[in-house]
A and B are shown apart, each in its own frame.
Chain A
Amino acid sequence: MMILSGDPPRSRALTLVLVVIILALAATPFLFPGAKALNVAAKICVFAALVASYDLLLGYTGSVSFAHTMFYGIGSYAIAIALYGMGPNWAAVATGIVVGLPLAALLALAIGLFSLRVAAIFFAMITLAVASAFQVLASQLSWLTGGEDGRSFQLPELLRPGTVLVSKSLFGFEINGRILTFYLVFAVSALMILALLRVVNSPFGRVLQAIRENRFRAEALGFRTVFHLTYANCLAALVAAGAGVLNALWLRYAGPDTSLSFSIMLDILLMVVIGGMGTIYGAIIGATIFILAQNYLQSLMGVASKAASEAGLPLLPGLLHPDRWLLWLGLLFIASVYFFPTGVVGRLRNGGGDKSADASH
Chain B
Amino acid sequence: MTELAVTDPLPKPKRDIAPILLPVALALVTIPLIGSPSTWLTLTAASLAMGMMIFIMASGLTLVFGLMDVLNFGHGAFIAVGAYIATLVFAPFAASVQADSLWVNLAVLAPAALLSMAVSGALGLVVERVLILPVYGQHLKQILMTTGGLIVAEQTLYALWGPQIIPMPLPASLRGSFILGDVAIAKYRVLATLIGLAVFVAIQLVLNRTKLGLLIRAGVENREMVEALGYRIRRLFLGVFMTGSALAGLGGVMWALYREQVHASMSDELTVLIFVVVIIGGLGSIGGCFIGAILVAMVANYGGFLVPKLALVSNILLMVAILMWRPRGLYAVTSR
A residues contacting B by CB (< 8 A) are 58, 62, 64, 114, 117-122, 124-126, 128-130, 132-133, 136-137, 140, 262, 266, 269-270, 273, 315, 318-319, 321, 323-324, 326-327, 329-331, 333-334, 337-338, 341
Contact = CB atoms under 8 A, between A and B. Distances in A.
A330 B327 CA distance: 34
Contact of B313 (A137, A270, A327): A137
B279 A126 contact: yes
B155 interface: yes
22 contacts: A121-B71, A121-B283, A125-B71, A125-B275, A126-B319, A133-B312, A133-B313, A137-B312, A137-B313, A266-B147, A273-B144, A315-B159, A318-B159, A319-B156, A327-B156, A333-B144, A334-B131, A334-B148, A334-B149, A337-B148, A338-B134, A338-B145
A273 to B, nearest CB: 6
B275 A341 contact: no
Given A129-B272, A337-B145, A326 B151 contact: yes
Given A122-B279, A337-B148, 11 more contacts: A118-B327, A119-B336, A121-B283, A129-B272, A132-B272, A133-B316, A273-B144, A318-B159, A334-B131, A338-B134, A338-B145
B24 to A, nearest CB: 25
Contact of A140 (B140, B145, B309): B309
Contact of B71 (A124, A130, A132, A137): A124
A7 B163 CA distance: 45
A217 to B, nearest CB: 17
B329 to A, nearest CB: 9
Contacts of B245: none
Contacts of A124: 71, 73, 143
A319 B158 CA distance: 9
Nearest to A318: B159
The 4 closest A-B pairs by CB, nearest first: A327-B155, A330-B151, A334-B148, A330-B152
B13 to A, nearest CB: 24
Nearest to B268: A262
Contacts of B163: 323
A128 B151 CA distance: 16
Contacts of B283: 121
Contacts of B155: 324, 326-327, 330
A306 B328 CA distance: 53
A330 B312 contact: no
Interface in B117-151: 131, 134-135, 139-141, 143-145, 147-149, 151
B201 interface: no
Nearest to B328: A118
Contacts of A326: 151, 155
A128 B320 contact: no
A346 B327 CA distance: 38
B141 A121 contact: no
A334 to B, nearest CB: 4
B328 A327 contact: no
Contact of A321 (B135, B159, B327): B159
A133 B272 CA distance: 9
B116 interface: no
A119 B327 CA distance: 11
B160 interface: yes
A331 B149 CA distance: 8
A258 to B, nearest CB: 18
Contact of A133 (B278, B315, B336): B315
A128 B336 contact: no
B257 interface: no
Given A64-B140, A64-B143, A341-B141, A327 B312 contact: no
Contacts of A324: 155, 158-159
Nearest to A110: B320
Contacts of A337: 135, 141, 144-145, 148
Interface centre among A58, A132, A137, A273, by most B CB within 10 Å? A132
A261 to B, nearest CB: 10
A129 B143 CA distance: 15
Interface string B162-181: 11000000000000000000
B148 A333 contact: yes
Contacts of A321: 159
Interface centre among A117, A120, A122, by most B CB within 10 Å? A122
A323 B148 contact: no
Given A133-B315, A266-B151, A324-B159, A114 B320 contact: yes
B119 to A, nearest CB: 17
A57 to B, nearest CB: 11
Nearest to B319: A129
A128 B147 contact: no
A232 to B, nearest CB: 15
Nearest to B157: A327
B46 interface: no
B333 to A, nearest CB: 14
A337 B313 CA distance: 34
B276 interface: yes
B144 A129 contact: no
Contacts of B152: 327, 330-331, 334
Given A324-B159, A327-B156, A327-B159, A269 B147 contact: yes
Contact of A136 (B71, B145, B312): B312
A23 B174 CA distance: 65
Given A321-B159, A330-B152, A128 B272 contact: yes
Contacts of A273: 144
A266 B283 CA distance: 24
Contact of A319 (B149, B159, B328): B159
B279 A125 contact: yes
Nearest to A124: B143
Nearest to B73: A124
Interface in B301-316: 309, 312-313, 315-316
A269 B336 contact: no
A351 B130 CA distance: 27
